[in-house]
């Protein structure tokens, strides 16, 4: 394995994201009552304490609890497997992919821990403009979004090399 192929970068990001995610969620659960709001930037940003039993934006929140849990644990396990496979495929294309994969995997693990511990994901970052609120989210969700953005950026900056097709 070449030095550039080392899995250290994604593993470090995975650990950093999981620790920050779980620490911030523990802080919120300790300091806030459910649904409590703390305005940080009036008209733009609150801290709050919410839980989401569904997927992104509350999808599947009404499904039966056991099947919802099985589904989300399976999806998280699949996502982590896809990240391992993706790392093997993209590691030689640039370090941006290692950072992206680590962030996405860390976010998946952070939210999986919540689902296994609480049956729901803890969300606390509430951005809004006027009465229009973005769905509340957390550090794990942010890491997934940043990781996907980096992955897309890497795909634009470092497109896969065309293979020789016998021309």
CB 124 within 8 A of CB 136: yes
Sign of CA dihedral 144, 150, 151, 153: positive
Nearest to 106, CA basis, from 22, 16, 5: 16
Domain region containing 69: 3-33+48-55+64-128+139-157
pLDDT of the chain, 167 residues: tens digit per residue: 444 567 899 999 999 999 999 999 999 999 999 999 999 999 999 999 999 886 655 555 555 567 767 777 788 788 888 887 877 777 778 899 999 999 999 999 999 999 889 988 999 999 999 889 999 999 999 999 999 999 999 989 988 765 544 44
Is residue 14 situated within a structural domain?
yes
Contacts with 17 (C-beta within 8 Å, 6 or more apart), sequence order:
102, 103, 106, 107, 109, 110, 139, 140, 143
Report the domain count for the chain. Answer: 1
Is residue 74 situated within a structural domain?
yes
Is residue 110 situated within a structural domain?
yes
Is residue 87 situated within a structural domain?
yes
Q: Map tokens 């550039």 to a residue.
A: 4
Is residue 39 situated within a structural domain?
no
pTM for the full predicted model: 0.81
Is residue 164 situated within a structural domain?
no
Is residue 40 situated within a structural domain?
no
Catalytic site residues? 123, 141
How is residue 119 written in tokens? 């049956």
pLDDT at residue number 20 = 98
CB 106 within 8 A of CB 11: no
């Amino acid at each position: 394995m070449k030095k550039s192929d080392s899995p250290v970068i994604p593993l470090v990001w995975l650990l950093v994201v999981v620790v920050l995610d779980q620490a911030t969620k523990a802080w919120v659960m300790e300091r806030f009552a459910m649904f409590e709001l703390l305005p940080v930037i009036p008209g733009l940003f609150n801290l709050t304490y919410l839980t989401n039993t569904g997927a992104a934006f509350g999808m599947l929140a009404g499904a039966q609890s056991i099947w919802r849990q099985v589904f989300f644990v399976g999806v998280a396990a699949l996502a982590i497997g896809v990240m391992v496979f993706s790392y093997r495929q993209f590691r030689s294309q640039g370090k941006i992919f290692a950072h992206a994969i680590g962030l996405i995997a860390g976010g998946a693990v952070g939210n999986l821990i919540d689902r296994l511990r609480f049956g729901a994901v803890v969300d606390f970052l509430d951005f809004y403009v006027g009465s229009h609120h973005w769905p509340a989210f957390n550090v794990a969700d942010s890491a997934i979004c940043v990781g996907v953005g980096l992955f897309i950026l890497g795909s634009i900056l470092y497109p896969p090399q065309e293979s020789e097709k016998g021309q």
